[in-house]
């Protein structure tokens, strides 16, 4: 066992410290390299899924004349945030443990126009044969007690590296604009009160979630109504462009 010997000559102690530091630095250097590679895999996984979403969005826009997505954002957890979560969960900080327990290192948030778009996007994504669905949490069908609504998918995507293929978990949160606005406000409130939100804030927040839900229902209804009827401008244009049919009543009078 290595112990500090107080009788050691000062010069020896200094040398030992220097030696230990260079070994530590080497260890740190290799750990940093390992961490960089580890996070790179998650970045690639995130980019793979982001591309899939972008392709679906563009195809949908081209074929159905409707953009189901308002906004897509992505984020990679920082090493500090991974460490904080590992500590919170009370698990060891080795990369193997992190890989198996922290599933939201790579995260994407897809903000859709309507609730039907949320489910349609989720269906189109999870139906892709190279994606493995690891978990689905439907907080739209079953909102959280605080009013939170979103559809969470945890998928695994293969990433083809130069010498190997790794399966990377990516968390995808799908929600509507109204759900996103609510979640953003709730996040700020939660942060401000450090999870101890007073009742006179919790209640109106829940009411706001219900209003957002009501708005989603109204907007969806309007969207379907507008899409199932031909716009007046199109009707007028079609009438104008149609070759004029001679009126049988007046035909041949000249």
Q: Tell me the residue ranges of DSSP E strands in 9-131.
A: 69-76, 106-112
CA separation for the pair 182, 87 (Å, rounded) = 29
> How many CB atoms lie under 10 A from the CB of residue 182?
25
In whole angstroms, give the CA distance from residue 202 to residue 135. 29
What binding mask, one character per residue, do residues 160-199 give for ligand GTP by CB under 6 A, x or -?
-------------x---------x--xx------------
Q: What is the CA radius of gyration of the chain?
A: 28
Residue placing its CB nearer to Mg ion in the complex, 113 or 150: 150
The residue range among 39-47, 144-152, 155-163, 242-250 that interacts with ligand GTP, by the rule CB under 6 A, is 144-152
Binding mask 104-133 for ligand GTP (x = CB under 6 A): x-----------------------------
Please state whether 252 falls in left (phi above 0), alpha (psi between -120 and 50) or beta.
left
- In the block, tokens 């260079």 appear at 22
Instruction: Select from 38-46, 141-149, 212-220, 243-251 the region that touches ligand GTP (CB under 6 A).
Output: 141-149
Q: How many residues does the chain have?
A: 254
For residue 236, the tally of other CB atoms under 10 A from its CB is 10
Which residue, 100 or 238, has its beta carbon nearer to ligand GTP? 100
In the stretch 76-105, what mask flags binding to Mg ion with x, by CB under 5 A? ----------------------------x-
> Interface with ligand GTP includes 148 (CB under 6 A)?
yes
3-class SS of residue 173: strand
Q: Nearest approach, Cβ of 183 to ligand GTP (angstroms)?
A: 4
The contact set with Mg ion (CB under 5 A) reads 104
Residues annotated as catalytic are 171
The contact set with ligand GTP (CB under 6 A) reads 104, 137, 144, 146, 148, 152, 173, 183, 186-187
């Amino acid at each position: 066992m290595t112990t500090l010997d107080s009788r050691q000559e000062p010069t020896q102690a200094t040398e030992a410290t220097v030696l230990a530091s260079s070994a530590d630095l080497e260890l740190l250097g290799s750990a940093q390299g390992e961490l960089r590679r580890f996070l790179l895999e998650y970045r690639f996984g995130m980019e793979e899924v982001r591309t899939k979403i972008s392709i679906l969005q563009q195809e949908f826009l081209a074929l159905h004349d409707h953009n189901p997505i308002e906004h897509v954002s992505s984020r990679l957890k920082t090493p500090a945030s991974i460490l904080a979560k590992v500590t919170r969960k009370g698990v060891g900080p080795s990369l193997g443990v992190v890989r198996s327990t922290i599933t939201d290192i790579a995260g994407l948030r897809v903000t859709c126009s309507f609730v039907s778009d949320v489910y349609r996007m989720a269906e189109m994504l999870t139906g892709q044969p190279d994606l493995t669905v690891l978990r689905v949490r439907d907080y739209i069908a079953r909102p959280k007690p605080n009013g939170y609504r979103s559809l969470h998918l945890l998928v695994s995507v293969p990433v083809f590296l130069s010498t190997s293929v790794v399966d990377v978990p990516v968390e995808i949160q799908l929600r509507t604009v109204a759900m996103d606005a609510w979640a953003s406000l709730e996040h700020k409130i939660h942060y401000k009160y450090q999870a101890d939100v007073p009742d006179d804030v919790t209640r109106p927040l829940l009411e706001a979630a219900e209003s957002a839900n009501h708005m989603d229902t109204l907007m969806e209804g309007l969207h379907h109504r507008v899409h199932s009827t031909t716009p007046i401008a199109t009707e007028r244009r079609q009438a104008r462009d149609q070759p004029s049919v001679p009126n049988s009543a007046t035909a041949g009078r000249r």
